[in-house]
Amino acid sequence: MKGVEDGADRALPVDMTIPPEQIERESQQLDAVWRGKPGLWGWLTNVDHKTLGKRYLVTAFLMFIAGGIEAALMRAQLARPENSLIGPDRYNQLFTVHGTTMMFLFAVPIMTAMGVYFVPLMIGARSVAFPRLNAFGYWNYVVAVVFLYVSLFANTGPDTGWFAYVPLSGPQYSPGHRVDVWAQVVTFTEISALTAAVNIIVTSFKMRAPGMSLNRIPIFVWAQIVVAFMILFAMPAVATASTLMLATDRAVSMHWFNPAEGGDALLWQHIFWFFGHPEVYIIFLPAMGMVTPIVETFCRRRVFGYTAIVMANITTAFFAFGLWVHHMFATPIPELGQSLFTAASMIIAIPTGIQIFCWLVTMWSSRPSLRVPMLFILGFLFTFVNGGITGVMLASVAFDKQAHDTFFVVAHLHYVLLGGGVMPLFGAFYFWFPKITGRSLGETLGKWHFWLFVIGVNVTFFPMHILGLEGMPRRVYTYLAVTGWGRLNLIATIGAVTIATSVLLFVINAIKSLRSSTVAEANPWQASGLEWSVASPPPSYNFLNAPVVESRHPLWDTSLDLPVLTGFRTDRREVLVTTTFAAHPDARHAAPSDSIWPLYLALCMAVVFIGSIFSPYFVLGGLGLALIGMAGWGWTESVPQGRERVATPAVIPERT
Amino acid sequence: MKVPRIAGDVAELPTVTFGHRSLMWWGTLGFMVIEGWTTALLVAAYLYLRQNYETWPPLRTPYPSLLIPSINLAILLFSIIPAKMTERCAKQLDEDGVKRWLVIMSAVTIPTVVIRWWELWALNTRWDSTAYGSAAWTVVGFHTSLLLLDVIDTVGLTLFYHVKRMPVKSFSDTADNSFYWYFTVGIWIPVYLVVYVGPRVF
């Protein structure tokens, strides 16, 4: 290979620039092979990571609104004592579907969405490693969304809480199909998350731009990698608990959780929280990954402590798997175990603190430009630190036993998730919206959105700390006036209205911007990442040629010209494969064409898992149908595409 | 807008690679981690339930039979040979060899799924008898799904190779199919020891 065989770390020879007419010609050729087909069929068969990323984003944001409406209904019910707006049964469904939606159908998928859309663009790749798998994951997610909400409107919404504790969720205490819906919704979301995780890991490890060695990977991508690994180990736990245990206990009379036959209710809690606690970090770490590029861009300086931040991410991921028992302090856990998990729960604050200090140092003495993305980061720092501190409080067994199952926990988790997850996410929306859509969000409406959101979150959830300390249990549909909780609940409800107003302003802002004729530049914020080197929105093939990276901040450090590698075929979809550590160019792989089979197979999964609620025969039927899909998928992927260069361990012959 | 400068050319890079140089190999590895970890969690849950019983298996539940599971284990271990030969032929781009060994690999691996049916009943308990039965059936059942998946993949590749002109990259996919089969067999060994031999030991 010419020019790069010595590795991209060395100075690259300036050979020539590419003539504009060649750029024009190759752009058209590549667009012809990468662009999805028009029409409904093209829409259903599209496997482009940007298209799917956008669909994930829109679907997940709709779920945020749906979950928000459920929250608003609950707040309306709790606004005053002995309210009769919503009855207990509907209320049970509402808080269960709210939690399930926000955790499984909003928070994880929207972080996945950001990864699926931006990881290839940030590492200089044309695609994710497995585009069809990506589409398969998305369609599974859509099945989960449709299934949950159709069930809710059919009065079959799950009603045992988002963590579906047994024995309440078991066959004896929850007859009917409400819990089955929950178990299978979880199954679909796990399939979706796992496929995305594999995609992000392989894409980040094997498709980075030449020269992007491990120590040059953007921190956002590092966060996505770490989280993808967490998903590999966390999601199988909940899939095991819900699909292989709870669903089988309910459908075919297994006894995993039936103490009368040697089963164990605590087993559910162990396995669920072995997933459930890392889940918090699966939501939170990608958001932390969004903070760094925003802070860098608006402070006009490189982040302090790149290595420390990356190591903090990895350390957090490890610790996250060692704290699940702090959700179970109210169960008979041995004292030594309690002490260990208390210590672990406190220790995890350290790597998080390291990241926060790194951002503070970066901001220190800089003059941050207080545009909306940066405002949301400041809101995040304030709100999240408060949530983090109550987390450390809850790590103490004595305190936890007092606060267990009260509104104090509700306050804590919403401070962490809204402060640590949603605020950076909104900042990221404002930051990357121009890249995704080619339009910029309005600054004035954005500031209104920011202030109302931050105030709303604090007004809603701060009173809940006090309510919890006063003993108000979570998941009650009403309370007596004599408790004296009415005033604080009313304040919380006013806060919820404020949040709803702020989100409405964001939606109006987005619609207004999309209709605007002002087109965003390629790099409107003068940011440093590779994603800003391509047009807004990016072309179908992302990068005309493979960019070569010489530093962590390619657009800040490469003064005039951007080095690229040429020589790709333009008659088929082709991606560059690089080595895992140093990212040396290693191969050109053909990327698969658009396909209907991912959608077809996701529908087969729907037959299998939804059908399993009613009869095992659906499982057999669905698997039979899936055979056709697997054959179709394989058949359409194994098509000769002209002359290939083969690298076996020994020789590189040419074959067709 | 920055001006692109040509720093090198990738035209001579290979377009079909094997093992860790191939994207599909990494994807396969990812799914091995997921499935291996799920198996580990199920085995852990199986052992967790052990503490709820005085005896294991529970009273009036016989030990699992060893004959059929041991026969199937022997076949699984033997199947490594055709899998390895298929992989070797694939890496040598030997299409005739791949076709031949895929047929043999299919012939050896299909019976393992069939025998698995009797292997489940060799647990000598039903899934709905006790928590012990539920755990044992689920652990073995989950592995069956992995086994079935790779047998379907092997048979599918065999059919494809015999009915259509396959692209060169299918050699790499074929090698990865063997790679997954080693995992399927390898992970069965601890499951076999825990579920079929274990009750006699602990």
pLDDT tens, position by position, A520-538: 999 999 999 999 999 999 9
Q: Which of the pair, A557 or A138, is modelled with greater confidence?
A: A138
Q: What is the pLDDT of residue A649?
A: 63
Question: In terms of CA atoms, which chain A residue is nearest residue B169?
Answer: A638
Å between B70 CA and nearest CA of chain A? 26
Number of domains in chain B: 1
Residue A41, pLDDT above cutoff 80: yes
Picking from A17, A235, A647, the nearest residue to B5 by CB comes out as A17
Chain B residues with beta carbon closer than 8 angstroms to that of A655: 16, 93, 168
Beta bridge partners of A576: A588
Task: Output phi, psi for A446, to 5 deg.
Answer: -60, -40
Give B5's pLDDT tier (boundaries 50, 70, 90).
confident
For the residues of A327-392, what is the DSSP string, one character each?
A: G-TTS---HHHHHHHHHHHHHTHHHHHHHHHHHHHHHTTS-----HHHHHHHHHHHHHHHHHHHHH
Structure tokens at A416: 């962490």
Chain A residues with beta carbon closer than 8 angstroms to that of B45: 240, 245, 256, 267, 271
Q: What is the pLDDT of residue A115?
A: 98
Domain that holds residue B42: 29-201
Distance CA B149, CA B142 (A): 11
Q: What is the pLDDT of residue A408?
A: 97
Give A542's pLDDT tier (boundaries 50, 70, 90).
very high
Q: What average pLDDT does the segment B107-130 reach?
A: 98
Treating both helix axes as pointing N-terminal to C-terminal, what angle do A108-123 and A219-239 enclose, rounded to 10 degrees?
140
Average per-residue pLDDT for chain A: 94
**Tens of pLDDT along A439-458?**
999 999 999 999 999 999 99
**Tens of pLDDT along A462-512?**
999 999 999 999 999 999 999 999 999 999 999 999 999 999 999 999 999
**Tens of pLDDT along A324-362?**
999 999 998 888 988 999 999 899 999 999 999 999 999
Q: What is the pLDDT of residue A1?
A: 45
Number of domains in chain A: 1
Residue A125, pLDDT above cutoff 90: yes
Distance CA A565, CA B166 (A): 30
Verify whether the Cβ–Cβ distance B42 to A254 is below 8 Å: no
Å between A248 CA and nearest CA of chain B? 9
Distance CA B43, CA B48 (A): 8
Q: What is the pLDDT of residue A366?
A: 92
Picking from A198, A236, A555, the nearest residue to B27 by CB comes out as A198
Chain B residues with beta carbon closer than 8 angstroms to that of A13: 7
Q: What average pLDDT does the segment A408-413 reach?
A: 97
Q: What is the pLDDT of residue A642?
A: 83
Chain B residues with beta carbon closer than 8 angstroms to that of A201: 26, 30
Task: Output phi, psi for A473, to 5 deg.
Answer: -75, 150
Picking from B1, B3, B34, the nearest residue to A17 by CB comes out as B3
Report yes or no on B10 lying in a domain: no
**Tens of pLDDT along A279-314?**
999 999 999 999 999 999 999 999 999 999 999 999
Residue A6, pLDDT above cutoff 60: no
**Tens of pLDDT along A551-602?**
999 999 876 678 999 999 999 999 999 999 999 999 999 999 999 999 999 9
Q: Do A198 and B27 form a contact (C-beta atoms < 8 A)?
A: yes
Q: What average pLDDT does the segment A258-271 reach?
A: 96
Chain A residues with beta carbon closer than 8 angstroms to that of B19: 649
Verify whether the Cβ–Cβ distance B166 to A627 is below 8 Å: no
CATH number at residue B70: 1.20.120.80
Verify whether the Cβ–Cβ distance A236 to B7 is below 8 Å: no
Residue A650, pLDDT above cutoff 60: no
Verify whether the Cβ–Cβ distance B17 to A555 is below 8 Å: no
Report yes or no on A610 lying in a domain: no
Residue A9, pLDDT above cutoff 50: no
Residue B176, pLDDT above cutoff 50: yes
Over the range A135-164, which residues count as b (16 or more CB within 10 Å of their CB) and which as e? bbbbbbbbbbbebbbebbeeebbbbbbbbb
**Tens of pLDDT along A63-99?**
999 999 999 999 999 999 999 999 999 999 999 999 9
Q: What is the pLDDT of residue A655?
A: 54
Report yes or no on B3 lying in a domain: no
Report yes or no on B143 lying in a domain: yes
Which residues lie below 8 Å from residue A120, measured CB to CB, with a gap of 6+? Answer: A49, A126, A127, A128, A203, A207, A542
Q: What is the pLDDT of residue B2?
A: 61
Verify whether the Cβ–Cβ distance B130 to A255 is below 8 Å: yes
Query: How many CB atoms lie under 10 A from the CB of residue B85?
Result: 18
Beta bridge partners of A196: none
* Separation of first and last alpha carbons in chain B: 70
Q: Which of the pair, A50 or A637, is modelled with greater confidence?
A: A50
Question: In terms of CA atoms, which chain A residue is nearest residue B28?
Answer: A198
Q: What is the pLDDT of residue B158?
A: 98
Distance CA A148, CA A2 (A): 55
Chain B residues with beta carbon closer than 8 angstroms to that of A592: none
Domain that holds residue A393: 39-515
Treating both helix axes as pointing N-terminal to C-terminal, what angle do A423-437 and A265-299 enclose, rounded to 10 degrees?
60
Q: What average pLDDT does the segment A148-175 reach?
A: 96
Q: What is the pLDDT of residue A365?
A: 87
Verify whether the Cβ–Cβ distance A646 to B30 is below 8 Å: no
Q: What average pLDDT does the segment A125-149 reach?
A: 98
Share of chain A above pLDDT 90, in %: 89
Report yes or no on B88 lying in a domain: yes
Q: What average pLDDT does the segment A646-652 reach?
A: 66
CA proximity to A323, closest of A298, A301, A341:
A341
Question: What torsion do the CA atoms of A370, A375, A378, A383 make, to the nearest 10 degrees?
Answer: 160
Q: What is the pLDDT of residue B4?
A: 77
Give A2's pLDDT tier (boundaries 50, 70, 90).
very low
Q: What average pLDDT does the segment A193-214 reach?
A: 98
Residue A12, pLDDT above cutoff 60: no
Q: What average pLDDT does the segment B150-171 reach?
A: 96
Region at A211 (left for phi over 0; alpha for psi -120 to 50; beta for the rest): left
For the residues of A387-432, what is the DSSP string, one character each?
A: HHHHHHHHTSHHHHHHHTTBHHHHHHHHIIIIIIIIHHHHHHHHHH
CA proximity to A403, closest of A415, A389, A393:
A393
CATH number at residue A100: 1.20.210.10
Chain B residues with beta carbon closer than 8 angstroms to that of A590: 15, 169
Q: Do A157 and A70 form a contact (C-beta atoms < 8 A)?
A: no
Picking from A133, A202, A585, the nearest residue to B13 by CB comes out as A585
Structure tokens at A44: 């259903």
Report yes or no on B19 lying in a domain: no
Determine the residue type at A569. Answer: R
Region at B193 (left for phi over 0; alpha for psi -120 to 50; beta for the rest): alpha
Give A13's pLDDT tier (boundaries 50, 70, 90).
very low
